[in-house]
Amino acid sequence: MTNRKWISVGAFFALSSVAIGAFAAHALKATLSEYALGIIETGARYQMYHALGIVLVAIVSTQLKLKLSISKLCFSVGIVLFSGSLYLLAFSGLKTFAYFTPIGGIFFIVAWMILIYRLLRVDIGD
């Protein structure tokens, strides 16, 4: 996938983060508990952070000519597992979904580690 498409993926995740957070905060405020709203807020916040991470990695990848596809993929999988499981937990109340949250967190960590590793291995002339 090209970096332009990855930037679009990151932008989509950012857009949907805002939409989910706003929908929960306004349209569902009367029907969801404070606990559930907090879970959604956490999911939306981490989704936004890592959506921006995808955009950042795509730009860095282009500028420095680094292969960072696995990092971008790990961010994406992390968003789906981490934030997605939190949204499902908040909306359904089924605690089973919480088992996927730390797996998504591991994908986030791996994505950042890959970025750090690749950056430390490249000579960017500074």
Listed residue (82, 115, 77, 118) closest to 100, CA to CA: 82
Please write the tens of the pLDDT for every residue from 2-12. 999 999 999 99
pLDDT tens by residue, 43-90: 999 999 999 999 999 999 999 999 999 999 999 999 999 999 999 999
Alpha helices (H) along the chain: 3-22, 34-64, 69-78, 84-92, 101-121
pTM of the model: 0.92
